């Protein structure tokens, strides 16, 4: 799991849905500081948050854990 790739994916999906960090945090009952740390790759969401995040952002758990679909560029 790459926290930087996952953070970028969370940020992209959040913005795609027109949500601020505060909006996402409110939907997940966490702080916007936690969302900021995820998006900057400083920390990774707690395992208990993975399903709620994937539902709110409308992405698969696989994509959330891997930071998005693998395009074979690595």
Domain count, the chain: 1
Domain that holds residue 24: 3-66
70 confidence band (pLDDT: 50, 70, 90): low
* CATH code of residue 25: 1.10.260.40
pLDDT tens, 6-64? 999 999 999 999 999 999 999 999 999 999 999 999 999 999 999 999 999 999 999 99
CA distance 70 to 15: 21
Residue 72 lies in a domain: no
CA–centroid distance for 71 within its chain: 19
Residue 18 lies in a domain: yes
Residue 26 lies in a domain: yes
Residue 74 lies in a domain: no
């Amino acid at each position: 799991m790459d926290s930087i790739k996952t953070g970028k994916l969370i940020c992209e999906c959040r913005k795609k849905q027109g949500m601020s960090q505060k909006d996402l945090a409110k939907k997940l009952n966490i702080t916007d500081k936690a969302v900021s740390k995820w998006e900057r790759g400083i920390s990774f969401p707690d395992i208990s948050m993975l399903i709620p995040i994937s539902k709110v952002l409308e992405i698969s758990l696989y994509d959330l854990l891997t930071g998005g679909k693998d395009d074979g560029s690595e």
